[in-house]
Structure 1
Amino acid sequence: MKRPFIYIHMLTSLDGKIWGEFTKLPEEEATAPFFKEIGFGHDYWNMDANLSGTNTALNDYTYHNAPDLNVNAQIVPPGDFIAVKEAERFSFVLDRNGILGYQKNEIFYAGVHSHIVDVITEKVSNEYKDFLRRKNVSYIICGKEEIDYDLMFEKMVDLFGVKVLSVAGGGTLNWAFLRRGYVDEVGFVVVPGADGGTTTPQLFMVKEGWSEQIPVSFEFDEVKVDDRSGALWLHYKVKKVWQKDEWIEKYGLGPKDFVAADNSTIQKTQTTHASKK
C-alpha cells in the first residue's frame, strides 16, 4: 500500500482527555506553544499535511455552518477537484456524507496556511461538490459509501505529494487508524491539569463496528519536558498491532486479575519448592 509516513500528535489532560473543561486552564494555554512547536514545526516530524475527522472539522473549521447548496447547480465534471496543487501545507478532512459548510478554503493554525482537501465518497451530491468548487476547496473521491483509506493515502501521495501526515483526529479516528496498522509513531503532550470528565473524548476510543478493543503495543522513543508550562511530551513508535485471533489465543478476553496473577506466582513457587523436597 502506498501511503505517507503517519504520526498521531495530540494534546491531552493528565486523565487522558483531548477535550473538556481542562482546555480553559492557564496551564493548557501555557502548554500550547510547546505543543505547536513539536507537532507543527520542523525539528521533529516536518509534516506537510494533516488529517482531521468530521467532528473536529465541525467544531474547529466550520463552526457547524451548513453548506450553501445550489439545487439548480450544473453537473460538475467527474472525478476529483484539485483547486490548489502546491500549498504551504494541506489539511485533509474526512467528510464522507458531504456536510461541512466551509466558509473559506484554508485553515490558519500554528503560523501556517493549510489548503483544505475534503475527502468525500461517491454518494455525495452534485450540489455539494458544486459548493466545494465555488469555495475553491479541493476534494478527492475515495470509496462508494464509506471512505476507502488505502485509496485516500494513495491520492495524498500521487496528487499532492504528501510525504508526512499528521493525524489530528478524535479518539475514534486515532484508534481506528492504529488498529488498521496505518500509524508509524504516536506523540502526545500532557497538560499539567485534569477535569475528571466522563463524557468527554479521550486519546483513543473504540467505536463499535469500526474498531475493536484489542491492544496495540508501543516502543518508547523519547520524552521532553517543557520548563515553561510543566507539560510533558511522550513519543513512541508503534511496536505491534495485535490481531484479534492472536490476542485471544494468547491472553483471552477481559482484564488481568492481578490478585490471581500474584497468587499464581506464589503457587508456582510453592510447587517448585515442594518438588525439590
Structure 2
Amino acid sequence: MTKPFIVCYMMTTIDGRIECAMLEKLKGGDAYESIITDELRTPSTLVGRVTAELEMATGKFKPTATPEPLGKQGFSKKVDAVHGYDIIVDTKGTLLWDKENEKPYLIITGEQVSKEYLAYLDSKNISWIACGEKTINLAKAVEILANEFKIDRLAVVGGTAINTAFLEAGLLDEISILIGPGIDGRKGFSPLFDGRATDKDPIQLKLKDVKKYDDGAVLISYTV
C-alpha cells in the first residue's frame, strides 16, 4: 500500500496526559511547532474531530434539508499545498471553517457524509476525501493522501481517539513524544492513547532517538 510516512506526535506531561490547557502551563511547549518542521519534517498535520472542534473550527454545520448521503468513495482536490495541509478527520461532516487559514484545510469524512456538507466545503474551496461506508477507511484515506495530494510525510497530532485509531490500523511508522517537565495527575483526563481492547498485548516499540532541551523537556522518538 502506498502511504505517507506517518508520525504520531504529541506533547504530554510525564504521566502521558495531553490536555492542552494544562500543557500550556508547562515549560517545553516553545519547541513544539519547530519540532514539526525541523525535526519531523512533516508540514502536513492531521487532527481528529474533537480536537478540531475545540481549537480550529468556527461552529457546527446545520443542514437545511433532509441529508442525502454521498454514498460512495470520492475526493476533491482544490489546491496544491506547497507548505502542507491542515487535515481534519470529521466522519459525518459536522464542522464549519474559515476560508482563510495559514495552510489549506483538507477534510476526511466517511461516505455517509451529506452532499450538502460537501457542497459547503466546495463553496469554501476546501479539499475533501470521503471513504469508508460506516466509519472512515483510514488505510484508503492515507493512500489517497499519498497518491492524489502528494503527501509523503504526515504528523498525527491528536487527540486520543484519532491517535489510537491510527495505531490500531497499523498505520503509524513512528511515535514522537515531547514530554514537558510536569505532572497532570487529575482524574478523567485523556492520555496519549486509550480504548484498545483489554485482551490485547502491548505494541512493541524500538527506541530511535532521545533529545533533551534546556528547559527540562525531552523529545523521545520510537519506531513502531
Q: TM-score, normalised to structure 1's length?
A: 0.73
* Contact 1:192 1:230 (C-alpha < 8 Å) held by counterparts: yes
Unmatched tracts of structure 1, length 5 or more: 107-112, 239-277
Report the Cα distance in structure 2 between the residues aligned to 1:217 and 1:223, rounded to whole angstroms.
Answer: 17
Query: Larger % of helix: which?
Result: 1
- Measured in 2, the distance between the counterparts of 1:230 and 1:129 equals 45
Q: Distance in 2 between matches of 1:219 and 1:53?
A: 26
Cα distance between partner residues in 2 of 1:206 and 1:214:
13
How much does 1:129 deviate? 1.0
Query: CA offset at residue 48 of structure 1?
Result: 3.3
Counterpart-to-counterpart distance in 2, 1:20 and 1:62: 16
- Matches of 2:121 and 2:151 in 1, distance apart? 21
Map of 1:222 onto structure 2:
209
Count matched residues: 221
Q: Does the 8 A contact of 1:189 with 1:233 survive in 2?
A: yes
CA-based RMSD of the aligned residues comes to 2.4
Instruction: Give the corresponding residue for 2:93.
Output: 98
Q: Find the residue that maps to 1:130 and give its secondary structure.
A: helix
The secondary structure found in structure 1 opposite 2:205 is: strand
Q: Secondary structure at the match of 1:161?
A: coil
Provide the residue aligned with 2:12 in structure 1: 12
Q: What residue is the counterpart of 2:223 in the other structure?
A: 237
SS in 2 for 1:80: strand
* Correspondent of 2:104 among 115, 134, 142: 115
Aligned 1:73-222 pairs, distance under 5 A: 79-104=74-99, 106=101, 113-206=102-195, 213-222=200-209
Structure 1 residue identity aligned to 2:141: M
Which residue pairs with 1:66 in the alignment? 60
Report the CA distance shift for 1:93/1:21 in structure 2 as closer, same or farther (over 3 A): closer
Please give the per-residue CA displacement for 1:235-275, whole angstroms capped at 9, x wherever unaligned.
Answer: 1111xxxxxxxxxxxxxxxxxxxxxxxxxxxxxxxxxxxxx
Shift of the alpha carbon at 1:70? 5.0
> Could you say which residue in structure 1 is the equivalent of 2:47?
52
Normalised TM-score (structure 2): 0.89
Q: Tell me the residue number matched to 1:260.
A: none
Task: Evaluate the alpha carbon distance shift between residue 94 and residue 14 of structure 1 in structure 2; reply closer, same or farther with a 3 A threshold.
Answer: same
Compared with structure 1, are the counterparts of its residues 132 and 21 closer, same or farther at alpha carbon in structure 2 (3 Å cutoff)? closer
SS at match of 1:173: helix
Structure 1 residues 20 and 165, CA, compared in 2 at 3 Å: closer, same or farther? closer
Match of 1:36? 33
Q: Whose relative contact order is higher, 1 or 2, with alpha carbons under 8 Å and at least 6 apart?
A: 2
